[in-house]
Structure 1
């Protein structure tokens, strides 16, 4: 896979509300008993059995695992609702330490520095992996995962969970932004297929801007989450932020092309909702579900919300698609996973939990419960064969998973916080025309170089 290593992305993306940031709370739905599906039946005869078989080789009775997780995240709620299966099979008791996303990074760093071993497993947001791994906070896991399992995970998922070629977190959730679009408005405008290129996207946005509805939204709020979308614009233009040789490459013709394209759509075409300059993903899903915009780029969490008629006015009038290509078909991958604290006194038991939580069957159940893309190809097969999902659900999850074919690790460099912060200023300044494209990119590159080199 071509790695246009942005080499950076969000160590402390506290502003990323992603409901995921790249956050696991981005699924936007509750799990409840949704695990009682055909996939769960499969797990009873496969995933649970494998857990029991593994547990037979070691005596874990009386062991307590402490797992630090994001409070309120639907993905974590799924594991909490199903963990009794693991506890019964292994004799291990699981204690959950729930922490708001904005406080997770600081709490985990404090714990890691203290080396107390009070937390055995970290619920790892991808941008923290490179930082934690470089400082020795996480246990290497590459040798623990079988070659068969490695080949089953999407390459982008494992790549985004690694640092310097070593795996430090096993992903239970991987996603990248997709486009949600109004099928009824497409039909009325005579647009027969979703745009495959930037140029087609631009033309569709102009055509769809009418009767109080705008063609699209381009997030430009001075915050962390909109920067993740800027990364995609850069990638698709053929640009980068830090190249494979660790050179800062922000001030490039490719990145300038991305900004000029966005500015043209916003100010010349007038197909971008004017408030976009102050929007992040939460504004995007609100505007789309209110029926005020025809196409938006957002995270897969929005799917469950958009199809819920109690929340959405367009619940039966939309579909999802892979982002259109610029010079390249490209995007950044974002993951959540479980990593073992290097200070844990229960590393073997922690690995048993990770094996259970990230098994093919369990991840399929998670995908079905939350309408999520899944990080394993075998899990996607289970999802596609599940009788409780509609064809629309299956097709949409397939699209979300297909998007990962074009995804690259965006966070390998542990110096992201400063870079992300600078890019948030750059994005806001250029899109509000407070600074020119040329000056904005030049200033960003200078500031980033001074900060990290």
Structure 2
């Protein structure tokens, strides 16, 4: 039990710091009436600032160039932040009541949190109902709060099971099928294969090759489908304010026991930090790797790469994770009309096509999803990955929970998974986590409409 509390205790410092971000500023933000500056309709040029992640700054510039060509009276300035600092930068600037940016990236499960805090301006003036139907339902749901569109999708995401063909051949293991989703492996089949693929090459008593690894080893985005496949219909209450009985439901506990067993009972997964998971697969230390489609480009030239569908528990439901970055307008921007025009171009206009070509992520636009395989060579690994991911986002994808306290919920639950990986009792770890989570969610009660 002490082991189960170790990482959770460290996490509390971060969680308590977050508490200061939800205050009376929410009411001040939501009541502020800031008039637009130049809307882009006159001869005078309007400059908006777009906060972007460093990981896709270059690709975003291609979209910006096309937008400026079609809208010569609007200029887009780029402000770059690394992933490790982007959330803090948004929180600090918004709390100050003044932002250096007009358009900023919104991790989709944070839409509710940002909307309640008054960080986001509604996007309904720039997206009519016909435009909203162009997106996947999950993408629209992720960007909507209390019936208003608050963030618009840049793209979406899915996960596939990658595997090292050479390691399978060396061990004489038949690889998972990729021809038909109804033939996908169960988790039980994956474990049996992983046991055969986990072995010690130098007789020192420690495996040098492991059978399986998650990409995001301790993140709820990656791990929620375990409990959901076993029957967890909800992982938080409808109002997003209660985790007890949901995040630690029997199905979630059973999913966490399976997660525990991968590392501690069967020992087919390495106890490594998330930062090393991709390197382990890329260098042949892991035979199977469950990760996002984005990781394909890291591996395809390094190993003999195969791909299959996301596993599920035998006789249970197939569930896959989804959701990605959205775009929002700062509530403090005085150039909302120009910002709205840019987001519309990026999310449902020509910019969406450019973004797909440049960044290569799974599109949220249904029309682009249907033509996804036309972007790549037939029979290539890209074609196989896109075929699988396209099926998953339309048929098996489930969003992360919608709660104003998503940051707190995720951080605390992530610590619980870390402890479970390292040997803590799964039920104890989840029970401890929900007690802490619910104490943090109380502060949002007055802001959530019944």
Shorter-chain TM range is: 0.7 to 0.9
1:354 aligns to 2:351 (yes or no):
no
Structure 2 Cα separation of the partners of residues 387 and 241 of structure 1: 37
Question: Please, which runs of 5 or more residues in structure 1 have no aligned partner?
Answer: 1-13, 15-55
Structure 1 Cα separation of the partners of residues 321 and 151 of structure 2: 18
Give the match's secondary structure for 1:175: coil
Give the match's secondary structure for 2:50: strand
Shift of 1:93: 0.9
Give the match's secondary structure for 1:152: coil
> Which of 256, 261, 265 is residue 259 of structure 1 equivalent to?
256
Shift of 1:245: 5.5
Shift of 1:262: 2.2
Structure 2 Cα separation of the partners of residues 361 and 400 of structure 1: 22
Structure 2 Cα separation of the partners of residues 219 and 390 of structure 1: 25
Structure 1 Cα separation of the partners of residues 390 and 99 of structure 2: 36
- Alpha carbons 2:306, 2:381 under 8 Å: kept: no
1:86 aligns to 2:67 (yes or no):
yes
Partner of 2:45: 62
1:344 aligns to 2:326 (yes or no):
no
Partner of 1:291: 284
Structure 1 Cα separation of the partners of residues 216 and 388 of structure 2: 26
Partner of 1:318: 306
Structure 1 Cα separation of the partners of residues 320 and 191 of structure 2: 18
Partner of 2:236: 242
Structure 1 Cα separation of the partners of residues 399 and 216 of structure 2: 22
CA distance 1:360–1:346, shift in 2 (3 Å): closer
CA distance 1:444–1:57, shift in 2 (3 Å): closer
> Which of 199, 219, 224 is residue 226 of structure 1 equivalent to?
219
Shift of 1:61: 4.3
- Alpha carbons 2:215, 2:289 under 8 Å: kept: no
> Which of 392, 396, 401 is residue 403 of structure 1 equivalent to?
392
Partner of 2:120: 138
> Which of 161, 164, 184 is residue 179 of structure 1 equivalent to?
161
Structure 2 Cα separation of the partners of residues 113 and 140 of structure 1: 18
CA distance 1:113–1:439, shift in 2 (3 Å): closer
Q: TM-score, normalised by structure 1?
A: 0.77
Q: TM-score, normalised by structure 2?
A: 0.77
Q: Encode CA deviations 1:308-344: one digit per residue, 9 max, x unaligned.
A: x3xx2x1x33224334346321233222121111222
Give the match's secondary structure for 1:401: helix
> Which of 173, 178, 181 is residue 189 of structure 1 equivalent to?
173
Partner of 1:198: 187
1:451 aligns to 2:434 (yes or no):
no
CA distance 1:374–1:218, shift in 2 (3 Å): closer
Partner of 2:370: 381
Question: Please, which runs of 5 or more residues in structure 2 have no aligned partner?
Answer: 1-13, 15-38, 179-183, 202-207, 443-450
Shift of 1:112: 2.7
Structure 2 Cα separation of the partners of residues 161 and 63 of structure 1: 26
Partner of 2:213: 217
Structure 1 Cα separation of the partners of residues 70 and 349 of structure 2: 17
The two structures, once aligned, show a CA RMSD in angstroms of 2.8
- Alpha carbons 2:63, 2:346 under 8 Å: kept: no
Shift of 1:131: 1.6
Partner of 1:279: 273
Shift of 1:147: 3.1
Q: Encode CA deviations 1:266-314: one digit per residue, 9 max, x unaligned.
A: 33333223xx2x321x31211111111111122222111111x3xx2x1
Give the match's secondary structure for 2:174: coil
1:422 aligns to 2:412 (yes or no):
yes
Partner of 2:92: 110
